């Protein structure tokens, strides 16, 4: 069944569940109101004229019903939030499949103009590869996905392992969507992870202090005894003494508790969602070793994090004035919370980074699996390190809608090291370069690619296509381009195997100098362990094929000018381009 139909069905099912949840919450609210009214009536009958003997029992029963209905209402709210997240997710998925336009986060924060290829291949920002892939909800998950794209895998075995993970995850639609929805509900903010890490790194203060530990229980016993004395003997002196001692003790530890609360306060919601994600992972059935190892690391993590969420919530109650005033002074509430936190930390703090890493990795893999699910016709690449090249059939750009995409082949293997691609303006040269580059990055991430078949060997990718000048850095366009080319040469001199993509280089100089520099640069590259493609308007650069017939091949994109106008077929073909269209286009636009 096509993804479009499935997403439409899911949207309908979720809307029904949301309507049911709304009805259930209305009934629970009504029951709470009745229970409260009944409790008030029973209290009145306890003390008013004509008191009922069973009125106290009625009060207790009404309060129990009120508490139960409140708890069910809170669960219903969480269920409703999850269903709304699922509805939003499926609506975004449907829009993406129908219009090939993503409404997910675009990862603009990860954009880096100095990166070897991310800017040129549209990895981040609006209408980017990241936005097309991204199904992460946590900050660590988004960082993991960005890292995978910026630093794709270079080992064939590792790439194959991720392919197996993606193949196992792709059909698990319900699991994947629950994972994405729970992640989107975490509500993480910048700094939340840092505060959690800071709290985990803080040395234990309360737990090793045995005297303080004994004192909190002695205080509890003495305070309860003082309360009993007050009730029975109407002697307030013991209780006042205990409240004074407890207050002094709370003041002495106040700063330590405040530091703990500052680092972990208001984390209940995030921790609860982390626990839900880890529970999902623990309960799912996987057949692939990579997923099973993540599952093993997440074992019982959800129980531990849910417990920490409860303790964090309890500590947050110190912001309620009544809690420190009564529970604090009477029962040392802050001290008991601090001990519970440190006891948890002593037991689990070494495992927390592993649990967060599991969530991040699963979210990143989930993004690749969703991409695979939404593109059932895409092919999983075949790794062949012996060929040390790329052989692709029916190649298309993953960001172009299938109905608008013209497929081409790419063969860059054997003795061939460089393709020189010529063609007129708007004929498809740059799109072809980006199609090869983007799909190569996807392939090394372990995802399927926009091609009928794709055979490749892992390589470092380096590009020079959209170089920008920088006034702030006092760098001209030409200088910025030279610095990028220098980075490529330095990488080759270190022995790295590099796939190079160049588009209209050396535009900042005259035609003769540009041609000479381009020719010498390509000949320089031929001395190293690299492959590459260069798109150019300099038809004379195609003469390199006659000078290096085994290493250099000419390909081109053509345009046709007729009475009907300008026509592009966007098909790559062998040879050097013959047609030009700049003058024609300027005339058509009335420029000349």
Question: What is the DSSP annotation of 329-341?
Answer: HHH-HHHHHHHHH
How many other CB atoms are there within 10 angstroms of residue 516's CB atom?
14
Least reliable range by pLDDT among 30-44, 71-85, 303-317, 552-566: 552-566
Rounded to whole angstroms, the Cα distance separating 110 from 122 reads 12
How many other CB atoms are there within 10 angstroms of residue 84's CB atom?
16
User: Is pLDDT above 60 for 302?
Assistant: yes
Per-residue CA distances from 485 to 116, 412, 416, 481, 504 (Å): 10, 21, 21, 6, 13
Residues with Cβ within 8 Å of residue 287, at least 6 apart in sequence = 168
Three-state DSSP class for residue 162: helix
- By the 8 A CB rule, do 7 and 94 touch? yes
How many other CB atoms are there within 10 angstroms of residue 588's CB atom?
13
User: Is pLDDT above 90 for 328?
Assistant: no
Q: State the average pLDDT over residues 91-118.
A: 94
Rounded to whole angstroms, the Cα distance separating 335 from 217 reads 11
User: Is pLDDT above 90 for 543?
Assistant: yes
Please report, rounded to a whole number, the percentage of residues in the chain having pLDDT higher than 90.
56
DSSP 394: E
User: Is pLDDT above 90 for 28?
Assistant: yes
Residue 588 confidence class, pLDDT cut points 50, 70, 90: low
CA terminus-to-terminus distance, the chain? 54
Q: State the average pLDDT over residues 325-332.
A: 78
User: Is pLDDT above 50 for 472?
Assistant: no
**Average pLDDT of the chain?**
89
- By the 8 A CB rule, do 312 and 267 touch? yes
| Farthest-apart Cα atoms in the chain, separation | 113
- Phi/psi-derived region of residue 464, left when phi > 0, alpha when psi is between -120 and 50, beta in every other case: beta
Q: What is the pLDDT of residue 474?
A: 41
**Assigned token pair, 341:** 């936190």
**Assigned token pair, 359:** 């969530």
Q: State the average pLDDT over residues 250-255.
A: 84
User: Is pLDDT above 60 for 138?
Assistant: yes
**Assigned token pair, 408:** 């081409």
Half-sphere exposure of 506 (CA within 13 A, CB side): 21
Least reliable range by pLDDT among 406-415, 477-486, 573-582: 573-582
């Amino acid at each position: 069944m096509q993804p479009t139909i499935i997403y439409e069905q899911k949207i309908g099912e979720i809307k029904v569940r949301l309507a049911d949840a709304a009805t259930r919450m209305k009934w629970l609210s009504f029951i709470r109101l009745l229970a409260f009214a009944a409790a008030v009536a029973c209290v009145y009958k306890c003390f008013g004229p004509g008191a009922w003997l069973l009125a106290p029992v009625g009060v207790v029963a009404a309060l129990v019903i009120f508490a139960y209905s409140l708890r069910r209402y809170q669960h219903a709210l969480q269920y409703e939030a999850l269903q709304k997240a699922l509805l939003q997710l499926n609506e975004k998925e449907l829009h993406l499949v129908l219009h090939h336009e993503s409404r997910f986060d675009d990862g603009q924060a990860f954009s880096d103009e100095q990166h070897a290829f991310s800017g040129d291949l549209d990895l981040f920002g609006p209408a980017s590869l990241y936005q097309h892939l991204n199904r992460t909800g946590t900050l660590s998950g988004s960082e993991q996905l960005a890292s995978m794209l910026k630093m794709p895998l270079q080992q064939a075995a590792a790439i194959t392992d991720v392919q197996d993970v993606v193949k196992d995850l792709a059909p698990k639609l319900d699991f994947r969507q629950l994972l994405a929805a729970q992640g989107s509900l975490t509500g993480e903010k910048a700094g939340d992870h840092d505060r959690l890490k800071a709290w985990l790194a803080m040395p234990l203060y309360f737990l090793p202090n045995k005297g303080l530990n004994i004192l909190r229980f002695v205080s509890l016993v003495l305070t309860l005894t003082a309360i009993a004395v007050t009730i029975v003997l109407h002697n307030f002196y013991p209780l006042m003494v205990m409240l004074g001692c407890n207050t002094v003790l709370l003041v002495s530890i106040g700063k330590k508790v405040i530091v703990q609360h500052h680092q972990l306060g208001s984390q209940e919601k995030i921790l609860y969602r982390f626990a839900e994600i880890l529970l999902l992972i623990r309960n799912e059935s996987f057949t692939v070793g990579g997923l099973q190892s993540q599952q093993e690391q997440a074992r019982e993590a959800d129980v531990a994090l849910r417990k920490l969420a409860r303790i964090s919530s309890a500590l947050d109650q110190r912001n309620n004035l009544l809690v420190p005033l009564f529970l604090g002074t009477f029962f040392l509430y802050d001290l008991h919370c601090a001990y519970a936190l440190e006891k948890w930390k002593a037991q689990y703090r070494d495992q927390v980074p592993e649990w967060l890493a599991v969530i991040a990795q699963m979210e990143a893999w989930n993004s690749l699996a969703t991409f695979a699910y939404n593109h059932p016709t895409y092919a999983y690449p075949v790794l062949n390190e012996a060929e040390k090249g790329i052989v692709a059939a029916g190649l298309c750009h993953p960001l172009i809608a299938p109905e608008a995409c013209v497929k081409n082949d790419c063969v860059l293997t054997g003795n061939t090291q460089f393709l020189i691609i010529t063609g007129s303006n708007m004929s498809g040269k740059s799109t072809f370069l980006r199609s090869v580059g983007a799909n190569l990055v996807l392939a090394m991430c372990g995802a399927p690619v926009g091609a009928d078949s794709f055979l490749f060997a892992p390589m470092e990718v380096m590009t020079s296509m959209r170089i920008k000048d920088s006034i702030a850095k006092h760098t001209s366009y030409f200088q910025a381009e030279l610095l990028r080319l220098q980075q490529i040469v330095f990488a080759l001199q270190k022995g790295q195997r590099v796939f190079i993509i160049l588009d209209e280089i050396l535009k900042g100089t005259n035609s003769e100098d540009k041609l000479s520099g381009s020719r010498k640069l390509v000949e320089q590259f031929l001395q190293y362990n690299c492959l590459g493609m260069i798109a150019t308007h300099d038809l004379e650069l195609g003469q390199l094929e006659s000078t290096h017939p085994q290493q250099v091949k000419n390909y081109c994109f053509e345009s046709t000018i007729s009475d009907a106008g300008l026509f592009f077929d966007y098909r790559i073909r062998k040879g050097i381009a013959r047609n030009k269209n700049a003058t024609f286009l300027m005339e058509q636009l009335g420029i000349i």
